[in-house]
Structure 1
Amino acid sequence: MSMSVRKRAGIAAVAAAVLVGVVGCQDTDKGTKKATGTPELQSRDAVTKVVQAAYKKTAEAKTAKVRMTVTMSGSAEAAGTMQMSGVMGWDPTLMDMTMKMPKEMAGAGADADMPEQIRMKWLDEAMYMDLGAKAAKEMDGKRWMKMDLGAMAAASGDKQLQKQMTRGLEDMNQSPAQQLALLLDSPNLKHVGSEKVDGVEAQHYKGTLTFQEMVKSNKSLDVLTEKERKELVVQAEKSGIKGYDTEVWVDGDGFPVKMDLGMTMPQGTVKITANYSDYGVKAAVVAPPAAETFDFMKLMEDLGAAGAGAGAGQGTGGAESGI
């Protein structure tokens, strides 16, 4: 394999790892200080009203600034921490964020000289990643990679993959409002007390959902048939996924200023902490210039062709040596 092909393969590996980390963002005490004294806890009815009001305000805001940390622990292959910050929007889904590259991902793309930080944009059901000037040298001066999940699914011709991709697109739109909606379905939703988040007084709420309860509540799974939904629950139970833990801190204006999401399975844990601010901020996300953008699918096709060419060359060489 030539150095150029190796580096392009490294670029592809990093891009895939980034997408998995995003679609699928913990130091749960960071920026949170517990209030002193015995907290005056709210009743279940009061908690429900607060979270419902927060859901409505957040849904109407449509945008916010966010700092997000995703921590995956367990097997060496999955372990790592990803940090992102920037602006996100929902209805429609928008994103302009910068991700700090974890060492694990940087190692995956060592041959491609990946930058320590990657700017990501999400627009019109496509992800764009700025892979930096060094990557551009390998890609004819193009530094932005485009990953169109819808097009990738359609090109595969795999109906099941298309459904999974559709689910992935919906999951990308898991705004804080949608997380609040899921939390409302928790049978043990409760008020924890008053705490400060980034210096702001907020009320802390928490609840849990079993995987089956999550499947029932999550509208992004409506694309599945009843049989497929049952199979999803069975697979989750077999894999040891028991459920999700959700915590939210709501400020005096009725907006969530922090959310923690956690999931535990035999392979390890996934924990996401998101700090929100500036609800309603302008999020004018613009796609990178076409002249600076290359397509992930085309890259994979080129790598496949290069691999096939190398295999054909080796086969020819072997035939010649046997004459």
Structure 2
Amino acid sequence: MRKTTWKRAGVALTAAGLVAGLAGCNDGDKTGAAAKAGDPTNAAQFIKVAYEKTAAAKSAKVKMTMKMEGMGAESGTADMTGSMGWDPAVMDLTVKGSMLSAGDPEAPEEVRMVMVDGVMYMDMGEKQAAQMDGKRWMKLDLKAAADASGDKALQKQMTGGLDQMNQDPAQQLALLLESPDLKHVGAEKVNGMDTEHYKGTLTVEQMMKAGGSAELLSADERKKFTETVKQLGMTGYDTEVWVNKDGYPARMDVAMKMGKGSMEMRADYSDYGTKAAVQVPPADETVDLFKMLQDAGKALEEGKGSEALQD
């Protein structure tokens, strides 16, 4: 395998890392949402109704921006646009931004990401296809990769659907309901829509408990996770949401504060209930990234590492 192909694999893994689990809302009743929720200043009741409607919607169009600062090579921005569903988890997103290229001038300017049945497909473009025997799509079976890792918590997360809470707007609302300082900020305009603005903060411990993440880990795994979080210096998990008059999130902001940096994500949602029609790329245009990495690992074990990188 050529070294340039390995660079493409690195870009694919970066892109997969950005949106793996970004799946996350059949369309519910679009009338009377505000009346059902009651007084918008009753934050808990209003967000609960928004959660129920969003969970029932199952899909939406999304425009998302992610920014990381102070995180070394991982710092940068990423923009994602397209459609996504979260019951079941599917997506069709186009990703672009500095986080995708990671400083590689040969990296594609954008990558289309398609996910269905736990398998991610990444369109690396025609230029990269010329370096991969004409195959422009890279395939990554997320469940197979998790199983091969031997990490039980990761396996449960990859097969848990709604347990992948961080990018599922319904689960974000469920997390927000657990915030001890959830409050109504006020009425605001977002993308031309009348919305009600809410915000709340969770500690790492509260976030894990609320999302059920702690139950996926053994006592030893929880200890290691907590130690890692302390090393990162993560101090808070902030969520803001703007709920439109139909009871759906029009915008959601998530921010994580860490000792050496921060991560911010803004997602604008629309067209709830729009079916996320995802088509799997043709097999003859697809390279199996997981198999490619497995084969490279075997070659390294057999002492053929340099040949595996260059052939």
Flag the 1:128–1:222 CA change in 2: closer, same or farther, 3 A.
farther
Structure 1: 5+ residue stretches without partners: 26-40, 314-323
Code of the aligned partner of 2:178: D
Structure 2 counterparts to residues 1-323 of structure 1, below 5 A: 5-23=2-20, 43=41, 46-100=42-96, 102-110=97-105, 113-156=106-149, 158=150, 160=151, 162-167=152-157, 170-171=163-164, 174-304=167-297, 308-309=303-304, 311=306
Cα offset for 1:312?
7.9
Rate the CA distance shift 1:50–1:252 in 2: closer, same or farther, 3 A.
same
- What number of residue pairs does the alignment pair up? 287
Deviation sequence 1:281-304 (CA, Å, 0-9, x none): 021212111111111122224545
- Checking the alignment, whether the CA contact within 8 Å between 1:9 and 1:303 is kept in structure 2 is no
Unaligned runs of 5+ residues in structure 2 are: 23-38
CA distance in structure 2 between the partners assigned to 1:231 and 1:122 by the alignment: 30
Shift, 1:23, TM fit = 3.9
| Aligned 8 A contact 2:143 2:158 in 1 | no
Distance in 1 separating the partners of 2:6 and 2:20: 21
CA–CA distance in 1 between the matches of 2:286 and 2:214? 32
Residues 40 and 196 of structure 2 are in contact (CA less than 8 Å); yes or no, is this contact kept in structure 1? Answer: no
Please report the TM-score for the alignment, with normalisation by the length of structure 1.
Answer: 0.81
Largest Rg, 1 or 2: 1
Match of 2:35 in 1: none
Instruction: Give, in whole Å, the separation in 2 of the partners of 1:11 and 1:306.
Output: 19
Once the two structures are overlaid, the 10-residue window that deviates more, 209-218 or 298-307, is 298-307
RMSD in angstroms over aligned alpha carbons? 2.4
Larger mean CA deviation between 122-131 and 298-307 belongs to 298-307
Kept after mapping to 1: 8 A contact 2:296/2:305:
no
TM-score (norm 2): 0.84
The question of whether the paired residues in 1 share the 8 Å contact of 2:74 and 2:102 is answered with no
Question: For the structure 1 residues 312 and 181, does the alpha-carbon distance in structure 2 shift closer, same or farther, using more than 3 Å as the test?
Answer: closer
- Which residue number corresponds to residue 320 of structure 1? none
Residue 305 of structure 1, CA deviation: 6.3
The answer as to whether partners of 1:5 and 1:303 remain within 8 angstroms in 2 is: no
